[in-house]
Amino acid sequence: MTNKEKYKQAFSVLHASGRISLEEERMKIMKKKARFQAAAAAVAVCLAFAGGGSIAYAADLGGVQRKIQLWVHGDQTDADIVYNANGSYDLWFEENGAQEERHGGGIAIDEDGTERSLTEEEIIEHLNQPEVDYREDGSVWVYYYDQEIDITDQFKDGVCYVKVSNGETTLYMTILYQDGYCTSPHKYESPDSFN
């Protein structure tokens, strides 16, 4: 008898233990799982290509686009806004049948002195601040939410003080004629604080 035949005879009586067969089952499951994951990845790639148009649209604008409602000259208006990664925004809306746009943004400085980009909430808060409008007819108007206030005759020595409220927030405005304005939730600011 040859060595090969002796090995066959010796090992022919041995059977695989349950542990080895469990390992084989585990390997089969892993192979199936790998095939499923590959198929899921292929589906995800197909969906990405199908949705690529909308992704490219957002990428072209450079930020996150949303629809918001905004008060413009006393009227609530629908607007499209893009929040850019650097804290700036681009805004488009229609007023009196004409397409208007605004751009702005900036940084905020935290209490620890760290500079950061404005958040979406801070940009919306900024857009909801009162506005002062100097019209061609010489009149001066303040707009705050649905309010339109003619302040033309309220200037004394080039300064006007106006209190506005939207029902939740009251603001005190100090307006220098054609030289800026500031708002405070606590009190009117001194015109000297503008310099």
63/175: higher pLDDT: 175
- Residues 145 and 165: beta-carbon distance below 8 Å: no
Measured between alpha carbons, how far is residue 42 from residues 35, 81, 157 in Å? 11, 34, 72
What are the tens digits of pLDDT across the range 159-189? 999 999 988 999 999 999 998 898 999 999 8
Any bridge partners for residue 195, and if so which? none
Taking alpha carbons only, the member of 80, 84, 114, 83 closest to residue 100 is 80
102 compared with 57, residue with greater pLDDT: 102
pLDDT band at 14 (very low <50, low <70, confident <90, very high): low
CB-facing half-sphere around the CA of 37: CA atoms within 13 A: 6
Return the pLDDT at 191: 84
In contact, 126 and 69? CB cutoff 8 Å: no
Task: Say how far apart CA 102 and CA 91 lie, in whole Å.
Answer: 5
Cα dihedral 116/130/61/49 (nearest 10): 90
